[in-house]
Amino acid sequence: MTKKRWQTAPTAPTSHLATFSHFPRPIAQILFNRGITSLNKAEQFLQGEAISYNPFELKGVNEAVTRLRHALRQGESIAIYGDFDADGVTATALLVETLRALGGTVRPYIPHRVDEGYGLNRDALEELATDNVRLVVTVDCGIRSIQEVAHGIQQGLDIIITDHHSVGDQLPPALAVINPKQPGCPYPGKDLAGVGIAFKLAQALLRSHQKVAVTSQEVRLIEDDLLDLVALGTVADLVPLLDENRSLVQRGLAKLNEPQRPGILSLIQQSGLKPGKINAEAIGFALGPRINAAGRLAHARTAYNLLITRYPGEAEQLATELNRLNQQRQQITHEIQALALEQALAGGDVPLLFAASPDFLEGVVGLAAGRLTEDFYRPAVVARVGKKTCRGSARSIPEFHITEALDQCADLLVRYGGHAAAAGFTVSHENLTPLAERLKTLAAQALTGQVLQPVLAIDVEIDLGQLDQRLHSPSRSGWSIHLLRLQCNPHWK
């Protein structure tokens, strides 16, 4: 494990400390580190007040709501096309539940990781069109599916893209594109997860229905009913828990701790947890991995079925299966990581670790890449060599934007997409070696001369004497010492 270098945040300016002079100085410093410079914002942050932006500020939402309401009125068949990870599965369940509550004819479609791969694919769109689907809404995918969307349109489909991944030079030619990262989108919250964006679309639909009912069906669903799914997908996808994300997860945790879904209750029990004790850590290390295990080793619809079932008996069976798959996933990941490490290090000290083999299981290559990046603080790519193509996952470090690197390899790739720190791709056999060589060259150019050591971000250094009752529970806001990230410096004597 690479040792971390400590990086203490710059001291807040005197003007900021003066504004927050009635706060303990460490708290004032932490607020500055979080970008909170006004007293109103500070009170909102410290007291956990809900932040909820207007969903209609999202570019594309008006067009999407108009088309979906038309589909609901006409009884058209709607497909929700999701990704196979926890973010995509929760987003799929969320939109299916919302549209069905509004009287819609809706079907989920989650591709098989091995047979179909990540994102939209032509065969799936053709199948949906043949089954009389007229409108497809993607969740957590599609922002780079230029050709696939064009093909779906040729099949007679209207397509709405909702996604949160990095945007390329060109947007897909969809009826509407909802992604706060796209140019010209005024929405303040740029870091929503895929399920967060699906929630904002659901929010817009429910609010539109309240003003003008789109069907005669009684709608018993309210926005808060969806927040458990939002919390699960948001934490599992590792997006920053700041701003609106923080509020959504905070509200969602309250729902998770009083679970109304039999599937979530059974999953909590299978994880060895108890309602009332669920926090973000429980999602990240217990619930999320079990939801993800379905798409990694089998089919993500097992996890989807768990989230939507209303029957306790079925919920118990599905949760037991997810627990079994997760245990199997842990063992396989360990084995593949060892093999990938041996192959990646065979070439000596390289700026980017790259390993590919037909023996690797596609569902866990991303986990193996993540472990390599964590252990060596280098970008890492692990790919499975299939019969016709190779599918891989990449994990990276802050000094190397992996999706921008893949942008520079687009001519070699069949399909790709992701974030700054994580990405997935499909590449033909003949381009696998050229891809590895180009990525290593790009990494060498970007990383040469840099200190490749993980950073431990320190908010503020304080004396032990400052840890008094006022810091722990000041009377004004009731905030607590949990705001502080306390570390013991091994160099202190």
Residues 117, 234, single domain; the answer is yes
355: nearest Cα among 371, 367, 373, 342: 342
68 with 217, same domain: the answer is yes
- Quick check: is 282 in a domain? no
Q: Of 209, 237, 256, which residue is a domain's last?
A: 256
134 with 169, same domain? Answer: yes
Query: In this predicted structure, what is the pLDDT of residue 48?
Result: 76
User: Dihedral of CA 227/277/322/392: which sign?
Assistant: positive
Between the alpha carbon of residue 270 and those of residues 265, 286, 328, 467, the distances in Å are 9, 9, 15, 39
Split the chain (493 residues) into runs of 10 and give each run's mean pLDDT: 84 94 88 89 81 96 98 98 97 98 97 89 97 98 96 98 95 98 97 98 97 92 98 96 93 97 98 96 97 96 98 98 97 95 86 96 95 95 93 96 96 92 94 97 94 89 77 49 45 37
Co-location of 22 and 129 in the same domain: no
In a domain, residue 30? The reply is yes
Q: Is residue 287 one of the residues assigned to a domain?
A: no
Contact status, residue 229 vs residue 307, Cβ threshold 8 Å: yes
pLDDT in tens, 417-449: 888 999 999 999 999 999 999 999 999 999 998
Task: Report yes or no on 135 lying in a domain.
Answer: yes
- As given in the structure block, the two tokens for residue 171 are 């947007």
What pTM value is reported for the model? 0.89
* DSSP for residue 212: S
135 and 26 share a domain? no
CATH number at residue 77: 3.90.1640.30
Query: In this predicted structure, what is the pLDDT of residue 481?
Result: 41
Q: Which domain holds residue 391?
A: 348-447
CA distances from 216 to 23, 101, 102, 219 (A): 54, 11, 9, 9
Is 210 in the same domain as 111? yes
- Considering the domain boundaries, does residue 311 fall inside one? no
In a domain, 308, yes or no: no
Q: Do 60 and 155 reside in the same domain of the chain?
A: yes
Q: Give the other-Cβ count within 10 Å of 359's Cβ.
A: 11
Do 74 and 92 belong to one domain? yes
Nearest to 103 by CA among 224, 223, 218, 222: 218
Are residues 241 and 126 located together in one domain of the fold? yes
In a domain, 284, yes or no: no
- CA-based angle 48:54:58, to the nearest 5? 120
Domain boundary among 256, 278, 302: 256
Whether 90 and 37 share a structural domain: no
Q: Where are the alpha helices (DSSP H) in 345-386?
A: 365-376
Neighbours of 129 (CB within 10 A): 18
Cα 177 to Cα 161: distance, rounded to the nearest angstrom: 5
State the CATH number of the domain containing residue 366. Answer: 3.10.310.30
Within 10 angstroms of residue 321's Cβ, the number of other Cβ atoms is: 19
Domain count, the chain: 3
Judge if 236 and 196 occupy the same domain: yes
Same domain as 45, residue 163? no
